[in-house]
Amino acid sequence: MRISAVRVRQVSGTMATDGPFWEERLMRPIDIYPDYRKQPPVGWGGQQVDERHFKLTQWFVQLETDEGAVGIAGPLWPDAARLVLTQLAPIVIGKDPLASELLWDQMHRLQVHGRQGDAMIALSAVDCALWDLKGRALGQPVWRLLGGPTREAVPAYASMLGYAVEDLGLVRERAQAAKAEGYTAQKWFFRHGPMSGHEGLRKNVALVRTLRETLGDDYDIMLDCWQSLNFDYAVSLCARIEEFQPRWLEEPFMPDRIDSHVKLKAKTRIPLSGAEHEYTRWGFKRFVEKDALDILQPDIYWCGGLSETLKITAYATVHDLIVIPHGHSTPIGIHYSVAQSPIHAPYQEYLVKWNLINQHFLARPVWPKDGSIHLPEGPGVGMDLDPAKIEHEEQMKV
């Protein structure tokens, strides 16, 4: 069996919404500049066309073989999809798709300027498509190829990106609703960073206080800073919210500021998580060697694919670190999670709004049930697209 073609499928469709889909955005590193800090929520993954409709355009990678087996991965953004065709397709065409270690190494070594960013995201997508193809060719779900399952379901934490955080009444309402759905943990996103001053800091603290009062003491609360703090602000924020016992504080600094992570870790009892914006085992090695984080969060679709996430995980568990991948892709995430020891992978992130977008075109989307994500059935990852959801499609093939 050989890879005979690499195809990028650009698909468009419309998702129904109950009002504007993205209610609020999280703070960002660029928010130190006033013009950016004032920007409204961006249309991640699409565009709101009216009060009830959100237009989506997404890109999926499809690997095809001379024996009819295919593997699909996505969605990914257009620049990365372009690199799949221009940089990676010539490497993998004609090769054995089951030799995923060989193909990963060749793609990595031939992209000497592609160790991070869009080039690594492109490589990750090809690697994930290879795993989907491998499972289909062998007639097995990927979790079985990884040696799983270690359990029948994985607790999901509700990741509340895009929900309003300024209106604390709405925060209480949404937090209570998620708890009622069976989620035993929630992650919320701060809106205000260092340049928002004392008022912004008070609002951040009020958000955490509201969550703890709403959800009770025996409930995990996670808080995401999305790389947007500086050291002094992070110390001040941690001192004010430590009494509410967050399960972790996520991505306080941009990933290259490893020393700031180390210094903050020495100043607070709140566990630190992060590195979703880091790449490959060599990037994560820096965090582990400096004992900068308590929880590692590689993104399977960004850090180098499922193959590389497994290597990062193996290295992390030597140091008894928890690994909970960033939740860009629930379908491949659950295959990873159910093949890990529960003590090292206690949760899977479930981005509530993001999954409505990222799984919109899938024929068999993966949804939590009673707050947990259960073993998927069927061979591969389960990435077939639903033609009924596709209003328009364009294809590019090598």
Query: Which residues are designated catalytic?
Result: 326
CA 173 from centre of chain: 25
Are 207 and 188 in contact by the 8 Å Cβ rule? The answer is yes
Q: Encoding tokens for residue 265?
A: 């870790």
Neighbours of 217 (CB within 10 A): 8
Q: List the end-to-end C-alpha distance of the chain, in Å, as a whole number.
A: 18
**Phi (first) and psi of residue 354, to 5 degrees:** -60, -35
Q: Encoding tokens for residue 90?
A: 């010539």
d(CA 274, CA 224): 9
Which amino acid is residue 373, in one-letter code?
A: I
d(CA 69, CA 119): 25
**Phi (first) and psi of residue 267, to 5 degrees:** -100, -10
Q: Encoding tokens for residue 54?
A: 């959100």
Q: Which residues contact 395 (CB under 8 A, 6 or more apart)?
A: 7, 8, 9, 10
Lookup result for tokens 């994930």: 128
Q: Encoding tokens for residue 64?
A: 């095809």
**Do β-strands 348-351 and 322-323 pair in parallel, antiparallel, or remain unpaired?**
unpaired
d(CA 73, CA 158): 23
